[in-house]
A and B are shown apart, each in its own frame.
Chain A
Amino acid sequence: MDDLLRTGLAALDQVVPHESAHKHVAGTAEYIDDIIEPQNTLHAYLGLSSEANALIRSVNLDRVKTAPGVVGVLTAADIVGINDISPAGTNDDTLFCDGRANYHGQPIFAVVATSREAARRAARLAVVDYAPEAPHLTVAEAIAGGGATVGAGLTVRRGDIDAALAAAGQVIEGRISIGGQEHFYLEGQVSLALPGEDGEVLVYSATQHPGDVQEVVARILGLESNGVRVHVRRMGGAFGGKETQGTLFGAVAALAARKFRRAVKCRPDRDDDMVITGKRHEFEIDYAVGFDDAGVIEGVRMGLHARCGHSLDLSRGVADRAVMHADNAYFYPSAHVQSTLHRTHTVSNTAFRGYGGPQAIIAAERVIEEIAYALGEDPLEIAKRNFYDDEKRNTTHFGQPVTDNIMARIVAELEASSAYQERRAEIIEANQKSEFIKRGIALSPIKYGIGYSKKSMNQGAALLVIYRDGSMHINHGGTEMGQGLNTKVAQLVAAEFGLPLKRVRATAAATDKVPNASPTSGSTGTDLNGAAAVDAARRIKRDLVTFAADAWKVHEDEVGFENETVRIGSHIVSWHSFTEAAYAARVPLSATGFHKVPHIHWDRNAGQGSPYGYFTYGASCSEVAVDTLTGEYVVLRTDILQDVGRSVNRDIDLGQIEGGFIQGMGWLTTEELWWDKAGRLRTHAPSTYKIPLASDRPRIFNVDIAEWSINKAPTVNRSKAVGEPPIMLANSVFGAIGMAVASVADYRFAPRLDTPATPERVLMAMQRLKEKAGAG
């Protein structure tokens, strides 16, 4: 294990662009919809429920079937296997509705035609007879409607929370509403299925989890897993939205390919994609915090109410992670944190970068803000007084020791580099004189756990093959969605052999090359697959070293791989001739590698354990200006300091940090999912759902990596995961807007903003505070 940490990474100090960058800019990077279709490929299109909660009395597809270009239709009756696309086989999520519509937009049938346009037109001709009932759309409606859930929540307890709150100097209670988020991957959902021999099927699927698509397609088609192959070269963005949500489209394409013995593609229009597929969970979070005169927390109670939609999907994992991030970076001497998985008549919410962590951390920050405003102090000071430390206050509420706690150092460095204190003082003074424009500043710390609480998922595998000419294919269980995983894995392999990157080609993820792979999610891509790839390289190297030592009659210690050559004692052999010689000597030139994360344990029933391999830390400081007449705002400056351990690729990591921050900012500001009373999502396209644009970036944007950080956990190159944590760096924008809002009542009251802080929410919050100040 220890040598994982020494990866010949001097070679990695160079600047390495994304392995597909050239193809991205040339338009030659191939996405699934770009694959030239086999002759006579058919197109499947979904027919959707127009009711959110209804009994389906009948479905008449006569006009659909006779529409121009239509070859046939698929309904639940066509499913040979089980009508269940749930990731865990919980049988609560159908491919096609079977008698009930559980959300507006749920697929009822698919129509298959010779062109996508013909299928799309035909799909609208169905006549469905519903017996509609009032839908439960929100957490409040779900509770009022009987409190149905999609699964069991998680409770984590430390100490006696009632006693702690009763004994506390002050107690504040409140609630925060946290909005969901559409992934808005630029490449929408898509699958292309090709029928094969013996009922087999090959599915090209835009998925973060080829194994899940394989399993679900096999389940639908009544096959064993070896009847389904799933390939994905790359995705045009995913962000969690293709962890389970791609299976539906893969299953429809596969089912149609089998029925009609032709290649079938299934790609929804953007609006349908947004209506059909799950999103980040909305949360209503109730909290009560007890604290002393110095603002030190004595106990926290939180009730995390997740709006899960109509089925479980990944909601349990999402809400569990929320429970385990309700502390953010703060020590709660006494705690009671509980999640409830509310069932609603809305699309089933799913994974989204951060997986429940961001929502809980926003609530933790709200608690800090409440204490700060109650005591008339800067929220940052309250935050610092509650950080985990290295002595006694160093165990999370769920029992995991915080062993590499660098939060205070990160925050101290950022506080200095951003000149936080001076700027805050200046802003408070300037706000007094400014008539309509108020500014705010906030510095937000983030601690985030890396790993899956489900232990079995913490494994990775890779297949490395070397050809006689010395070129290589590295295949691993991870998928490339833009995050640069293939680049990092190829870099690690190239470094093992002292080769330039161009000799190593990362190939499409394929279930028939690396089986049973975990999803590429939870920021674990490089930790799991990079380490597995290094393991594969080292297995081959062991044989190559033995061969070299034997053949050249030197000691094994005298064999080294560097600069595209092999040093064997005093001999320098070119890599190409060496691999040719190894082949001739019948040395194996391929190997599988494997990695499992050590020291992970979790007891969900007890709510105790150490589910994470390690924590990452980061902090951001943002300054905003808010227009008190309209609620409009701009981000004037953001400074970020993020811990990524010892980076494998600095530029790729910076890209994740910058992009994650902006995506998080969108979630907390302009991205608003709006359902009408009938349960119809009305913000279902970029015309109505507003993700950030270039002009929304902070005017000054300083992003840095904590160069001194080295992961204490034994990860490849001692790096740390970087995919998800940056989402939460945007909390500082939200906090800064909150401060500007509070300024209208001279900071006497906590702003209590809900998310997303659209201009409307900001203006209305200011109105509320003004009225409160006027009244009191």
Chain B
Amino acid sequence: MAMRVKHRSTLRFYLNDEFIELDRVEPYRNVLDWLRLEQHLRGTKEGCAEGDCGACTVLVGRIDRGGALVYEAVNACIRLLSTLDGTHLVTIEDLARDGVLNPVQQSLVDCHASQCGFCTPGMVMSLYADWLDNRRPTVAEVEKTLQGNLCRCTGYDTIVRAAQYASDHNEPRSDRLNTGRAKMKERLLALRDGARLVLRSGDDRAILPASSDDLAAVLMEQPGATIVAGATDVGLWINKFLQQLPVMVHLQRIEDLTGISAAEGTLTIGAVTTFAEAEEAIAQHLPQLAGLWSRIGGRQVRNAGTIGGNIANGSPIGDTPPPLIVLGSQVNLRRGNERRSVPLEDFFIAYGRQDRQPGEFIETITVPLPGPEDRIAAYKVSKRFDEDISSVLGAFRLRLDSDLISEITIAYGGMAATPKRARAVEGALLGREWTRETIESVLPLYAHDFTPLSDWRASADYRLLVAQNLLLRFWRETTGIAPVQVRELLHG
């Protein structure tokens, strides 16, 4: 166990140009309510309070593992105030100076891209985060930027045009956030004191451990604490269910639990790595998952949500478990100084129950990288293509020996109470020829493997049929005739 770290009980961060130091922070207070109710900054809007509409989008600047100050768009409604420690919060009020609009804002005006205007500040912030990178976005890229921003009035076309127009006509290097980057980075570095942050209000506590060793210590003291990573789900427990979480342990500042490394055919993912941080490594090492990856939540959710959280949460409809299961991933857990590993597949015991003991937390996930002979695919099917929860998610790994199936792993989300393998189907496929006839002959076994539920996302019949058809899609894709998915017809 590590040395005892010093404690701090004041929250410190920057809001636009202002240094903020708070010694009383309500652990449930989210950034949006703090801005609107306590700071009376009301440019940031509440549309849904669940991270799905983007009206509350703000930028959070933080120093990443590489030492760079990066600004990320996040939903203020599900970002807890206590987790802003050591960051630079940028709101819509920071953009226009003395009545002069920022170029992104001016482009939206010039392109008639606001109607009711309620989603607009959030749109501005999402587009602004991208515009700072100084590159003309393609239409597809703008659409990706806006995956987490709903507009009910415009139909989006004018907004997409404005995003491109802003890049065509303006130079972000002279933007205040860019010119002030070095100075702000220094300020944020100066806030790093290696302390454990403990914020109290009444009987409630929010604890932000300083490191993974400190986290291990905290959880030994508080084994019943709620571990919070990106709060993309916990934020809803608080906002929607008004749930009481007397002790929250936030992983937000624990740098040594983030990052991805590839060595000896294995990808090691720090549990607190966000989906956005992982994007590049996924594209490089697991390009078969890149399409799925960009459909996990919206941009703001990917900037907050973590891979460890997606797993530890135990949801039957999480997007990462099925593909990670077929890749043979392991979950590496720590409790105090004890460590153990569990195959990801076995981590999910039953609905709402995972193989994690009180006081235990996920440190890393290890993913064996597929070889060139492996065919991998993951297909997400949802009512709406982007920013939706899967009706069915199918993941596949296939290895052929000449034309015969020598290895096949198939896992689904949305088909059972946990992410689940299609064992009977796999068994029937092994050793057979990889042909359409073979596929069709095993489809009846799906009913043996799965008894899905009917709900508002999909009926049981649809789920079962789609699960079967996805195997057919996988087969067709491995035979190399494209395109097989309708989205491939877009942005040709």
Contacts and interface: CB of A to CB of B under 8 A. Distances in A.
Nearest to B239: A269
A697 interface: yes
B483 interface: yes
B391 A699 contact: no
B116 A686 contact: no
B456 A186 contact: no
B53 A186 contact: yes
Given A186-B150, A436-B484, A695-B147, A481 B491 contact: no
A404 to B, nearest CB: 27
Contacts of A674: 455-456
A627 B116 contact: no
B158 A658 contact: yes
A17 B124 CA distance: 17
Nearest to A35: B42
A407 B118 CA distance: 36
Interface residues of A, number: 88
Contact of A687 (B44, B115, B160, B389): B389
A634 B459 CA distance: 22
B152 A26 contact: no
A659 interface: yes
Contacts of B158: 655, 658
Contacts of B47: 186-188, 270, 686
Interface string B31-74: 00000100010111111111011010000000000000000000
Contact of B156 (A239, A270, A662): A662
A27 interface: yes
Q: Among the interface residues A36, A626, A632, A693, which one has the most CB atoms of the partner chain B within 10 A?
A: A693
A703 B158 CA distance: 12
Interface residues of A: mostly helix, strand, loop or mixed?
loop
A37 to B, nearest CB: 10
Interface stretch (A256-264, A502-510, A557-565, A759-767): A759-767
Interface string B409-436: 0000000000000000000000000000
B118 A661 contact: no
A670 B106 CA distance: 32
A690 B383 contact: yes
B484 A437 contact: yes
A23 interface: yes
B491 A655 contact: no
B466 A630 contact: yes
Contact of A236 (B45, B105, B466, B470): B45
Contacts of A484: 115
A238 B469 CA distance: 41
Contacts of B48: 270, 685-687
A663 B152 contact: yes
Interface stretch (B89-97, B264-272, B440-448): B89-97
A764 B454 CA distance: 15
A437 B112 contact: no
B255 interface: no
Interface in A91-128: 120-121, 124
A26 B116 contact: no
B186 to A, nearest CB: 28
A652 to B, nearest CB: 7
Nearest to A693: B386
A655 B152 CA distance: 12
Interface in A273-328: none
Nearest to A682: B456
B478 to A, nearest CB: 14
Interface string A700-722: 01010000000000000000000
Interface hub of A20, A629, A658, A682 (most chain B Cβ within 10 A): A629
A630 B146 CA distance: 25
B490 interface: yes
A66 interface: no
A27 B93 contact: yes
B464 to A, nearest CB: 11
A701 B157 contact: yes
A183 B153 CA distance: 11
A670 B388 CA distance: 11
30 contacts: A24-B116, A24-B117, A25-B96, A25-B108, A26-B43, A26-B92, A29-B117, A31-B118, A33-B36, A33-B42, A184-B152, A186-B45, A187-B47, A188-B47, A237-B152, A270-B48, A270-B49, A632-B486, A634-B487, A655-B154, A658-B158, A670-B384, A690-B384, A693-B156, A693-B385, A694-B143, A694-B151, A694-B160, A695-B146, A701-B157
Interface of A: 17-18, 20-31, 33-34, 36, 120-121, 124, 183-188, 234-239, 269-271, 435-437, 481-484, 625-627, 629-634, 636, 651-652, 654-655, 658-663, 670, 672, 674, 682-683, 685-688, 690-697, 699, 701, 703, 758-760, 763-764, 767
Given A682-B455, A687-B389, 19 more contacts: A22-B101, A25-B105, A27-B93, A27-B120, A31-B45, A235-B116, A269-B49, A435-B476, A482-B114, A482-B116, A634-B489, A658-B157, A661-B155, A685-B240, A687-B236, A690-B388, A693-B143, A694-B156, A694-B159
